[in-house]
A and B are shown apart, each in its own frame.
Chain A
Amino acid sequence: MPADNQAVKDALSKKGAFGADLDLEHYDEGSGDTRTIDDLQSSEYKDYMEKVGIVADEINRSGTLMFIDNGMSHCHSNQQEGLELMSVKDAVKKYDWVKDYFWKAMDPAKDKYTAKTYLEDSDGYFIRVKSGYHIKDPVQTCMMIDTDKTVQNVHNLVIVEDNASLEILTGCSTSPHANDALHIGVSEIYIGENSDVSFSMIHSWGKQTGVRPRTATQVGKNSRYTNNYVILNPVGSLQSFPTATLAEGASALYNTMCIAHEGSDIDTGGLVYLNGRDSNAQIMSRSISMGGHMCARGRLVGNAPGVKAHLECRSIIMKDGGSTNAVPELEAHVADVEMTHEAAVGKIARDQIEYLMSRGLDEDQAVSMIVRGFLSGSINGLPPALQQELDTAIEQANLGD
């Protein structure tokens, strides 16, 4: 661990850059005991898992990793060549070099949440794709909080080497009795050269749950990274600002789809450092306020010539009572860049609703069709599995209420 321990300890009192300041003392440390689940289908968590896109029968998945609180409960791989799945702790035992990746993309002293994860020496999932391997089916990972008033601290490591590809579907949720809990998920993703990685996260939490994911991705030369984030159910306080750093010719695409229900406070988006020549990035955010607080952030930093980047934050306000902020930022340090942004906040245009009504749809059907289209339909390149999960989640989100 390269970090200065004292600096990290000091960071325990450092507020996050954005979002409400959560009191870590409010929560006990979640248990690291292992509660092994062999068969996900007969698990008591099956319904919660399926709500966030985790397929219990594991069909069409290359493997599954599941954490309950802070212990790994399930690790199954269909033994595809070139793919390794295990806990981070096991990976450290197996390979000396794993530690070299620890806290390289993410600064442990970034804020109190990363500091806490660092100091707890938290476990997490380890996914590795060796050079030259293309993993056909997605790997799914599930983070479940099962104990009230505890913090789930996980530190995940994903390494995709050169000329390789991987799709990860992550579902995070709480049991109904663990409503007042805190999830801190630190994920470090390292992508080699000429590789393709897609990382999709679906969240479904309790109305009081605090959520502070911290994701940092290093994208190697000519590689492509896609980050999809979906939260459609009520949550207490969620703040996340995942970061990618791009090498020459690399690209990053962030898609965010959120619904801020009454009582929810969501602050999310993406930050991309375009450090390599001819790298490009897109940050697309679609959010709906149903009376909650929604802040959609996006920041693009152009540090090299030939950079192309676009940022788009669109929000629909369905109900009064909350607030909606769109915060798009562009920053360029060289002349030869092409960076744009657009942001729009407002209600659904009446003429669109009535156009669909003129085809015989009633008002609720028209609104829900437009909202569904707004959230997912106008974003290209969602993996088919995620698109399916998203459609189901939108159905269940009770937009009409």
Chain B
Amino acid sequence: MTEMLKVVDLHACAGEREILKGVNLTVNEGETCVLFGPNGSGKSTLMSTIMGYSSIEVTQGEILFKGEDITDKTVDQRAKMGIGMMMQRPPNIFGVKLGDLIKASSPIGASVLEDASKFKMQDFLDREVNVGFSGGEIKRSELLQLTAQKPDFILLDEPESGVDLENIDLIGRKVHDLLYDGSCPGRQRHVSSLVITHTGQIMDYIGADRGYVMKEGRIFCSGRPTDLLKEIKENGYGECDACQQIIKL
């Protein structure tokens, strides 16, 4: 299997504090990986580091994407190579209309806007990006943007958090569409993803292939996502302390 993303011994700091303490992780082409871990374990930081946000400084290790070292590449270079991210709390962009951003960011942006109603976002295109959006509206806006962007590798940071039961189905289906890129689930997938989830609800929609558990800035283990989720639901992350099966190179 071709490796889409390979993270090797990644150390990274936010300000003075080291958050990532030697992360090793691989996501293959067409693979959907789920990232579990307690609050504060570094999951969102890992995603921001993969996307290239400058609030995080890489101090050691490397990030390979499609075989190329992207550790020093800018955010837009990574986006152009095919990485897309759904943020949990994206910033407000005052004065910029959602529709204008989508049109500017993608050659197919204008045609995606015609389908905005399928995301229940038709009334938001003239609104300022993220300003006054509810939790569910932010998720739908992010998904609409990603649908226009068509990334090969998608980082999804808690896609179901803050979403009511009615919207979770819509969001789940749209995430599914993104990952399968319209093709039949029976075929080989090309789009890969890394998905942070606490509840596992999103797993009903995405057909997760592999699960990773992150704790204290490192990946502890990997396994079948449903099994890992069951263990975490029953026993929390306590077992990780006893197990200490840290993924090494």
With both beta carbons as reference points, the residue of chain B lying nearest to A372 in the complex is identified as: B95
B74 close to A363 (CB less than 8 A): yes
Interface: A373 (CB within 8 A): yes
Q: In the complex, which residues of chain A have a beta carbon less than 8 angstroms from the beta carbon of B53?
A: 351, 354
Q: In the complex, which residues of chain A have a beta carbon less than 8 angstroms from the beta carbon of B100?
A: 369
Complex: A95 Cα to B8 Cα, angstroms: 85
Interchain nearest-CB distance for A384 vs B (Å): 14
Interchain nearest-CB distance for B69 vs A (Å): 19
Interchain nearest-CB distance for B78 vs A (Å): 8
Interchain nearest-CB distance for B196 vs A (Å): 16
With both beta carbons as reference points, the residue of chain B lying nearest to A354 in the complex is identified as: B75
Interface: A356 (CB within 8 A): yes
A362 close to B76 (CB less than 8 A): yes
Flag the segment in A204-212, A303-311, A374-382 that touches B: A374-382
Question: By DSSP majority rule, is chain A's interface helix, strand, loop, or mixed?
Answer: helix
Question: By DSSP majority rule, is chain B's interface helix, strand, loop, or mixed?
Answer: mixed
With both beta carbons as reference points, the residue of chain A lying nearest to B97 in the complex is identified as: A377
B76 close to A374 (CB less than 8 A): no
A370 close to B96 (CB less than 8 A): yes
Interface: B71 (CB within 8 A): no
A360 close to B105 (CB less than 8 A): yes
B91 close to A355 (CB less than 8 A): yes
Contact flags B66-105 to A (C-beta < 8 A → 1, else 0): 0000000011101110001101001111111100110011
Task: Report the interface size class on chain A.
Answer: 20 to 34
With both beta carbons as reference points, the residue of chain A lying nearest to B82 in the complex is identified as: A360
Complex: A355 Cα to B55 Cα, angstroms: 12
State which of A350, A358, A376, A377 has its C-beta within 8 Å of the C-beta of B79.
Answer: A358
Interface: B122 (CB within 8 A): no
Indicate the member of A357, A372, A376 with the most B CB atoms within 10 Å: A357
Interface: B145 (CB within 8 A): yes
A378 close to B95 (CB less than 8 A): yes
Interface: B197 (CB within 8 A): no
A374 close to B105 (CB less than 8 A): no
Interchain nearest-CB distance for B119 vs A (Å): 16
Complex: A351 Cα to B92 Cα, angstroms: 10
Interchain nearest-CB distance for B21 vs A (Å): 24
Interchain nearest-CB distance for A168 vs B (Å): 25
Given contacts A350-B55, A351-B55, A378-B128, contact A359 B79 (CB under 8 A): yes
B105 close to A359 (CB less than 8 A): yes
Indicate the member of B84, B87, B90, B94 with the most A CB atoms within 10 Å: B94
B104 close to A361 (CB less than 8 A): yes
Q: In the complex, which residues of chain A have a beta carbon less than 8 angstroms from the beta carbon of B28?
A: none
State which of B51, B90, B104 has its C-beta within 8 Å of the C-beta of A369.
Answer: B104
A360 close to B149 (CB less than 8 A): yes
Contact flags B192-215 to A (C-beta < 8 A → 1, else 0): 000000000000000000000000
Interface: A17 (CB within 8 A): no
Q: In the complex, which residues of chain A have a beta carbon less than 8 angstroms from the beta carbon of B94?
A: 373-374, 377-378
Mark out the residues of chain A between 24 and 76 whose CB falls within 8 Å of any chain B CB in the assembled complex: none
Interface: A1 (CB within 8 A): no
Given contacts A369-B101, A369-B104, A373-B128, contact A358 B85 (CB under 8 A): yes
Given contacts A352-B91, A369-B101, contact A357 B55 (CB under 8 A): no
With both beta carbons as reference points, the residue of chain B lying nearest to A373 in the complex is identified as: B95
Interchain nearest-CB distance for B90 vs A (Å): 6
Complex: A354 Cα to B106 Cα, angstroms: 16
Interface: B134 (CB within 8 A): no
Q: In the complex, which residues of chain B have a beta carbon less than 8 angstroms from the beta carbon of A357?
A: 74-76, 79
Interchain nearest-CB distance for A370 vs B (Å): 6
A356 close to B149 (CB less than 8 A): no
Interface: B39 (CB within 8 A): no
User: Which A positions have Cβ atoms within 8 angstroms of B?
Assistant: 349-352, 354-363, 365-366, 369-370, 372-379
Beyond the given A359-B101, A370-B93, A379-B95, please list 7 additional residue pairs across the A-B interface where CB-CB is below 8 A. Answer: A354-B54, A354-B75, A356-B105, A359-B105, A360-B80, A361-B76, A377-B94
29 contacts between A and B (CB under 8 A): A350-B54, A350-B55, A351-B91, A352-B93, A354-B52, A354-B53, A355-B87, A355-B90, A355-B91, A356-B93, A356-B96, A356-B105, A357-B76, A358-B51, A359-B79, A359-B145, A360-B79, A360-B149, A361-B76, A361-B105, A369-B100, A369-B104, A370-B96, A373-B93, A374-B95, A376-B95, A377-B94, A377-B97, A378-B95
